[in-house]
A and B are shown apart, each in its own frame.
Chain A
């Protein structure tokens, strides 16, 4: 056993934690502005629930919750966190909003947050570092051990298009309508270690893979993998990183509820075998969902058939119903069913822009929505 061996901490299965990357926006013109360091300094003065961390640039802040069994307490903590953040932001005259990318910021204007790791990444990745001013939601689901984490990692890949379509909130990028529901995923894809994890079947196999990557100097730690789904051995979780930060907290909580329910379904029903066929369709499905949302196509790796993503999602909800009842996520999943019919956050953004014809005003409306939706 080499020294780099990754110990998988045990955690109670199906517990949840959420991280949200949020935009720091100026009230003057709706563009991104610096302020993360002042916000963090102000928030850390008083005890508070949740965790607040810097991200790559001064215009981003990451908030995260503790560990929850139950989505309702998770939602309550997210609301607390939002209150703490908005109180601080008001004193600094800053707006906070959700969304996967800022509609019209210019990436070159961003300032790297003053922390050694971020400067190193900026050195290594060049313009990619500043272009990485995109905002995602990460969902952690607790796993009893490493082998189950690897099983969930692969099983969840089947549902990645659902998470993309449900969270999509970045149709505008650098001032242009990209025609995508989420443009954020394209920014992520530029990194060499992005995309899917390799098809290893056990924690021991994963360790062997990690060791070889580390010995060859490709990575230093798990942090260097930018995969859509990755194990997080320190927390004892599997981490879903595909989602745009939605425009509302309510949606963020619903996405966590969906992840929890799908994981319970996977762990209990073991509905399909884990093999390479899951990944044969992966990039096609990922593209369809990013570009067209629920109107996109989905190649079902199990049935070997092409279906409409919306139909596949609604069917999945039906299959999840008993698990949702057990977990108490029925209501939150119902809100996702409505969203699937009524349109994504990205479509909301396009509607608002069509009405008001101003991207700064769109950002302003996003900030209002973030503040006022339960």
Chain B
């Protein structure tokens, strides 16, 4: 025994684990479950959410709390990468060539907003709360859409429209949330200039930041051989910088990155860039985002908010489907594909998480009021939507060989 203690380079007993180990274990678990899910013809994303949910039931080692700010940063970066990637797949020219598609997009978001808002008023929520919940609910999840369409190698009309509608609804949702913030500022008697200027600053500033980012991406990448891996890595570096700048300037990460993605494509007149394939990095991002969402499960809240959350999801699904069907014919979509598209629009946006946090930071009461319903609904949808989305793409005959 004596001699063993002399070996001072051995770790002390009991072992004190580096908190990083939980990150590794969770990642491994998520990947393993994802593989299992795909054997069962389920989307991998569902397994990631399940991993997160399982994690939320486990009691956290207090030492892990130190990791939370870092985890938050990783989540934000991962989400940013996904938004940029989705943005690159959006062709704004399509809205010019087919204006009814823009009408579809406005209708599905507006109807989801109105139906959810009305329902929340029925549930006796104050108008600001109802409006905020409705604005969050009106968005379709860009990460779920990108994740499932990429995972299944989908190509075709339903896929293209889904990506377009998800990206646009995320933008509207963001703008409306900005306006509601202004309204809330008014109720707390902020000067008029702030009410007007804050949303404007958020919107214009984010778009401008996205534009500068897009320009920088193109300038830099034009100097790297096309198709080279370094192009993708350089883009990742720029995305990190854009996220940091958005945070420093108090702008929206969601809007800045979507704008950067969309504009890199619009500015690329000579098609020097392929839509970039972030490959493994993108897969890692999806794992982080969906495991992160899964950890939100709060069993206590889950029970009380369950009914309004289910109501919210139903109202939202109805609004979106009505919007799609109303303009299916003029926007040149066969009825069968319109129903599949409506199913595809079901996933809620993980941006809800960021919005709830931000709201809670500004007005803790308001944040707490919306958190229960929104996060419960988000979590239910994270489980149900990816399989539904994959089913819709399969039925549309748009999935790749292995899906």
Contact = CB atoms under 8 A, between A and B. Distances in A.
A34 B396 CA distance: 10
Interface in A1-35: 26-31, 33-35
Interface stretch (B168-176, B205-213, B329-337): B329-337
Given A38-B157, A92-B157, A108-B401, A29 B275 contact: yes
B98 A93 contact: yes
A58 B271 contact: no
B94 A93 contact: yes
B334 A109 contact: no
Contacts of B271: 30, 358, 360-361, 364
A41 interface: yes
A37 interface: yes
A357 B226 CA distance: 9
Interface string B211-232: 0000000000000001000000
Contact of B153 (A90, A92, A93, A109): A109
Given A34-B157, A108-B401, A111-B398, A92 B332 contact: yes
B91 A27 contact: yes
Given A27-B91, A28-B89, A90-B98, A38 B401 contact: no
B390 to A, nearest CB: 16
A128 interface: no
B146 to A, nearest CB: 13
A122 to B, nearest CB: 13
A33 B91 contact: no
A266 interface: no
Contact of B334 (A30, A34, A37): A37
A358 B269 CA distance: 13
Interface in A343-358: 356-358
Contact of A111 (B91, B272, B397): B397
Contacts of A31: 155
A91 B93 CA distance: 10
Given A93-B98, A358-B272, A114 B397 contact: yes
Given A41-B334, A88-B332, 9 more contacts: A29-B274, A34-B157, A35-B156, A90-B97, A92-B98, A93-B93, A358-B272, A360-B271, A361-B271
29 contacts: A27-B94, A28-B89, A28-B275, A29-B274, A29-B275, A30-B271, A31-B155, A33-B155, A34-B397, A34-B398, A37-B397, A38-B157, A38-B332, A38-B333, A58-B397, A91-B97, A91-B98, A92-B98, A92-B332, A93-B93, A93-B98, A93-B160, A108-B401, A114-B397, A357-B226, A358-B226, A360-B274, A361-B270, A364-B271
Interface of B: 89, 91, 93-94, 97-98, 153, 155-157, 160, 226, 270-272, 274-275, 331-334, 337, 397-398, 400-401
